[in-house]
Every structure is written in C-alpha cells, then in structure tokens.
Structure 1
C-alpha cells in the first residue's frame, strides 16, 4: 500500500508500509516506522523530528530541507539518496548503512552513531561537531569540508575516505587515518594547534 504526503501523521505507527512519490511537506513528528520502504520519494521539507525508523529502507529518495532532528534509526539502509540540508542533530543511529548517497549540509551535530557504514557516498559540509561515533567507516567516500569539532571517535575508520578541507581536525582523536591522509591533514592540524611551520 502506498502513501502520499498528506496521509502521513505525527505520532502514528506505520508497519510494513511502502511509501512512493511525493512526501514533500509531510509532517510526521514522533511517528514510528517499522519495516517500511521509501522508494524514490520527494522528501523536501519533510518534518519528522523525534521519529523512529526500524528495519526501514530508503531507495533513491531526494529533496532538501528535511527536519529529522532527534530521530532514532536502527537496522536501516539508505541507498542512492540525493538530499540537501538534512537536520539529524541529536539523533541516534545504530547499524545503519548509507550507500551511493550524495548529501549536502548534513547536520549530525551532537548525534550518536554506532556501527554505521558510509559506502561510496559524497558528503558536502557534513557537521559531526560534538557527535559521538563508534565503529563508523567511510569506504570510498568523499567528504568535502566536514566539521569534526569536539567530536568523540572510537574505532572510526577514515582510511577509505577522501577528505577535502576538513575542519575541527583536532576533534578526530581516536579515529584511524592513513599515512597519506595524515600528510594532508598536517596544515589543518598545525593551524588548530597554533604551530608555526618553518619553510
């Protein structure tokens, strides 16, 4: 059964539903999605703060201006998404896989990520400020101007990522980077630590 934007309601349980087409402007704050599928939906201006997503898949969804703040994600798959200005600050993500996604202005500030995989993704200006990442990997990803300020990282593997213009790199304590990445991170680290590099 397919649902459309106006049919989404706040504080509602959705079990095994398949959502297609236009969900732009929908309001689903505090809704609970169990074993649901979102296929090629327009999610522009979707408002679903504090929603819960369990064993749910999103395929080729797109849109900008999503409010998913303080939402909870467990055992989910996000594949082929094209999204912009996604608010996930304060959210909790566990066992979530992002594959082949392009996301601009992803706000994960203060979020908690556990056993999360980013595979072949492009993240533009992702904000990991004050986020807590445990067992998170970025295989084949390109991170453009990511912000790691005051992040907490444990068993986080950045060796498979292309880091372009990272910010707050002192917050990467506990993450694993490659020797080549360390060379690239050198100037940013020196700047943040106030080191003067002689010619």
Structure 2
C-alpha cells in the first residue's frame, strides 16, 4: 500500500531469470508432443502445436519461437531454463504447471489456464494475455514487463516479489490473494475489478491511490456524494 511515513516505500525486488541456452537441436518438423515427454536442449520454431497432448512433459533448456498453442494440453508440464518468444494461442491448458527460470516475450494468448501453477523467476515481456487464469497459483520473483493483461484472475493466489513495470492491467480479480513485496507502482494502468481489500503487502503510487479511491470507498461502504 502507499507509504504513510512519506518516505520511499521499501519493497524487495524480484529476481529475474538469467537464461543461457546451450547449442540447440531443431525439433523434428511435424513431430507431436507426448504426455510425460522429455524435451531437452531443443529449438521449437514455427511449429503448430494446436490441440496436442503434452500433459506432464518436461521442457529443459529449450527455445520456443512463433509456435501455436491453440487448445494445447500441457497440464502439470515443467518448463525450466527456457525461452518462449512470439507464442500464440487460445485455451492453452497449463494448469498445475511449473515455470522456473523462464523468459516469455511478445506472447499473444487468450484464456490460458495456469491455475494451481508454480512460477518462479519468470519474466513476461511485452505482448498481450487475455483472461489469464492464475487462481491458487504461486508466483515468486515474477515480472510482468510492458504487458497488457485483460481481466487476469489471481483469485486465491500467493504473490511474492512480483512486479508490473509498464503494464496495462484491466479488470484484475484479486479475490483471496496473499501478497508480499508486490510492486504495482510501475503499472501504466491499474484496474481492479474485485479484491481491492487484498492489496495489503503491495506497494502503490500516490496517483494509483487516487485512481483506486472509488474502489476503496465501495469496499468500505462509503458513499461519495458531491
């Protein structure tokens, strides 16, 4: 929340991933993902993975570029020390997945299911994600950098050292969220549809406090009459 002392608010910064990929082997063109598959040191470039089944798969030291993920099943997948650039898809299922030391750049996604997931040292840079479902997920050292997030659902999630520099956040659901060292000050736009009372543990700027005043008043049952 805003610092009432008038001094600079203290908040621990997120640790960003440092992904250094080894020499990669191109993934077999026309191949298909497999449940519980093991993908190590591969480059996925321009592949259409729509509707494929990769639940429980492990991706380690991989580069994924300009691939399609419409309806792709990746429940409980593990994505580790990897980069994803220019990916696109609607209805991708990453529920209960683990992302650790991952960079996601210029994604265009809609209705992504990441509920129950674990994200640690992850950066989302640029791009737009509509209706991102992060209910009951655990986010630690996660940065949303210059993204557009439309109606993200953080219901019941735990956020620790999460930042939103340059982001446009519209209609976020924070119901039941637990926050520790969450820095919202850099967000270009911050819209909260539900759960404004769960901002304890977050830091916001004075202009954001002004913008959120109607939501705070509504939460407290205060009527503002001119």
Fold shared, TM-score > 0.5 on shorter chain: yes
Question: Could you list the runs of 4 or more consecutive aligned residues of structure 1 that deviate by over 6 angstroms after TM superposition?
Answer: none
Q: Normalising by the residue count of structure 2, what TM-score does the alignment of the two structures yield?
A: 0.85
Q: Are positions 1:188 and 2:215 aligned together?
A: yes
Aligned-pair distance for 1:164?
2.7
Deviation sequence 1:115-151 (CA, Å, 0-9, x none): 0011000000000111100000000000011111110
Q: How far apart are the structure 1 equivalents of 2:28 and 2:182?
A: 37
Structure-1 residue corresponding to 2:44: 19
Structure-2 residue corresponding to 1:51: 77
Relative contact order, CA 8 A, sep 6+: which one is greater? 2
Aligned-pair distance for 1:5?
6.9
Determine which structure has the larger strand proportion and give its number.
1
User: After superposition, where does 1:61-140 map in structure 2 within 5 Å?
Assistant: 61-140=87-166
Q: Which runs of 5+ in 1 are unaligned?
A: none
Aligned-pair distance for 1:6?
5.3
CA pair 16-192 structure 1, distance change in 2 beyond 3 A: same
The answer on whether the counterparts of 2:159 and 2:179 sit within 8 Å (CA) in structure 1 is: yes
Q: Which runs of 5+ in 2 are unaligned?
A: 1-25
Q: How far apart are the structure 2 equivalents of 1:136 and 1:167?
A: 19
Q: Give RMSD over aligned pairs.
A: 1.2
Q: How far apart are the structure 2 equivalents of 1:64 and 1:179?
A: 36
3-state DSSP class of the match of 1:191? helix
